[in-house]
Amino acid sequence: MRILLATIGSLGDLHPYVAVARALKARGADAVIASAPEYRADVEGAGIGFAPVGPGFSHFGDYRTLLQRLFDARHGTRFLIREVVMPLLRRTYDDLARAAEGASLLVSHPLTLPLPIVAQQKRLPWAATVLAPANFLSTWDPPLIAGAEWMRGVRRLGRAPYRLLFGLAAMQLRRWEAPYRALRRELGVPPLKGLAMLDGQFSPRLNLGLFDAPLAAPQPDWPPHTRITGAPLHDGVLQSSDIAQLDGFLRGGEPPLVFALGSSAVWVAGDFWRHAVAATLALRRRAVLITGRDTPLPANLPAQVRAFGYLPYSMIFPRAAAVIHQAGIGTLSQALRGGRPQLIVPFAFDQPDNALRASRLGLARVLPLKKLGAASLAHELGALLQAPAYAEKARQIAQDLKAVNGAERAADELLKLGESR
């Protein structure tokens, strides 16, 4: 069975599919990932077939500038849809149609909008995936939306405010999706009922929530045939020189604070690392900074602070005193398994909602980005470390997730769908 998994976005959007592809391969399937050309080495290095989709990030110019526009609280979503996704729909369709030759089953990501069209034309079954609970836009369990955090205060009013908000968003999306409707007409495909980025992203056969069950329970307005698999996790490889340096530092004192911002927020971190160092010194602690594999390391660090471009989260998080991160769903999934208390500074996208859900579990505190500073960071960390309940709850959740292998569960669901064909 040949299964094509399509994904668009950062490494946080790539790694879960690498994990699922490896689980499929272990079960005898031929798994191929279709994504940005820049990810070929990452995917093929994991032993998975690769198919390029789109012109790659270089098409948009400087990568840091691209990330800054995407992370803009007011205009980032508009930029993503109207200037990144929609102009490349035809190129994405052509690349996905080529990659789907000989496939038995197709798997979509929320931004691979042409994939259901390819499945329809080739008469192939397809499964949809979402990486975080916010993707479901449930009025029963409404997400905390970046840039509209004030909406948290209206939750006590029930579902009505969210029905109104999502209705207004749908009106905006309908205008933005005009190129998608034009593509369907060009290809001779019947019009889609609803919107491609809302109901249209979900499959009539199988929808996989690639996140951990403690973060969200199924709701009445989730699409039919939805399964929560748990997070599929994939870590990179640590260089031997970094292993020696890290081990020496960890053995030299108490467990450090670990600061990490995933693979995207590191490009728009601003003064985050400077505040992290200042807060570490104020608390008389040790710290490890994970600043991004393609970004420069901070200079002139004090002796009790070490910086690395990359560390496998599965290795470093369990050895931390606390984990400070942005709540990208991949980072959060690793932090949940690390069993250490968390301080979360969400930046954009689904991160505010992920942070809220983690705080509800009782293992994390949340510091809004607009309030970030050395003093506020030190204060929140002090409160986190002084309350044993956070650490106890973190250990409990980690123990609960110990037996959950999201990649294997997702692979099993996909194979069942493929075999039912």
pLDDT tens digit string along 314-346? 999 999 999 999 999 999 999 999 999 999 999
pLDDT at 147: 77
- Listed as own residue / partner, the contacts of 12-15 with beta carbons closer than 8 Å and 24 or more positions apart are 12/131, 12/262, 12/263, 12/264, 12/328, 12/329, 12/330, 12/331, 13/109, 13/111, 13/131, 14/39, 14/42, 14/43, 15/232, 15/233, 15/234, 15/330
Q: Give me the pLDDT at residue 416, please.
A: 96
Which CATH number describes the domain made up of 240-401? 3.40.50.2000
- Strands across the sheet containing 322-325: 305-308, 287-290, 257-260, 322-325, 342-344, 364-366
374 within 8 A of 352, measured Cβ to Cβ: no
> Residue 70's pLDDT band (boundaries 50, 70, 90)?
very high
Lowest mean pLDDT among 117-126, 238-247, 333-342: 238-247
- SS3 for 208? strand
Overall average pLDDT of the 11-21 stretch: 96
Is pLDDT of 377 > 80? yes
Mean pLDDT of the chain: 94
Q: How confident is the model over 199-237, as pLDDT tens digits?
A: 999 999 999 999 999 999 999 999 999 999 999 999 877
* pLDDT of the residue at 65: 94
Domain ranges of the chain: 2-230+404-420, 240-401
27-36, 179-188, 270-279, 295-304: lowest mean pLDDT where? 295-304
Place of tokens 């491609």: 196
**In 10 A of CB 124, how many CB atoms?**
17
Q: How many helices (H) and strands (E) does the chain have?
A: 16, 13
At the top level of CATH, the class of 2-230+404-420 is: alpha beta
* The predicted structure's pLDDT at residue 414: 98
pLDDT score recorded for residue 243: 83
Where residue 150 falls among pLDDT bands split at 50, 70, 90? Answer: confident
Q: Do domains 2-230+404-420 and 240-401 have the same CATH topology?
A: yes
- Nearest residue to 203 (alpha-carbon basis) of 31, 6, 26: 6
Q: What number is the average pLDDT over the span 238-260?
A: 88
